[in-house]
Amino acid sequence: QVQLVESGGGLVQPGGSLRLSCAASIDIFSISSMRWYRQAPGKQRELVAAITSGFSTNYADAVKGRFTISRDNAKNTVYLQMNNLKPEDTAVYYCNSARLPRVWGQGTQVTVSS
């Protein structure tokens, strides 16, 4: 059974940092583009960052220069390093595989508050 397990969320003050991890139990991980999404209360899920199988990256304008997506194919894991966090980054963060777009994990809560 395909699984995506996100971790690393928590409560952090504005300006702080968190590193999210997503462990994927999919055989095709190394050839899959992986994405991080987030969903804030009352808002639609939005794409935050993406990384291709060739390690090319893209970011939403709201997080450019603050977030970094990376992947470790040996560990079937994708990461999201989040720096200089702002209250508007508060959301549940999810990872997703472009090859299995209907598969979602439980997400990890990120709360940025003083």
Longest dimension (CA), the chain: 41
Tally of CA atoms within 13 A in the half-sphere of 27 that contains its CB: 1
Note the pLDDT of residue 61.
Answer: 98
pLDDT over 80 (residue 1): no
The C-alpha atoms of residue 20 and residue 28 are separated, in whole angstroms, by: 21
Q: Residue 31 — pLDDT band, cuts 50, 70, 90?
A: confident
**pLDDT tens sequence across 35-93:** 999 999 999 999 999 999 999 999 999 999 999 999 999 999 999 999 999 999 999 99
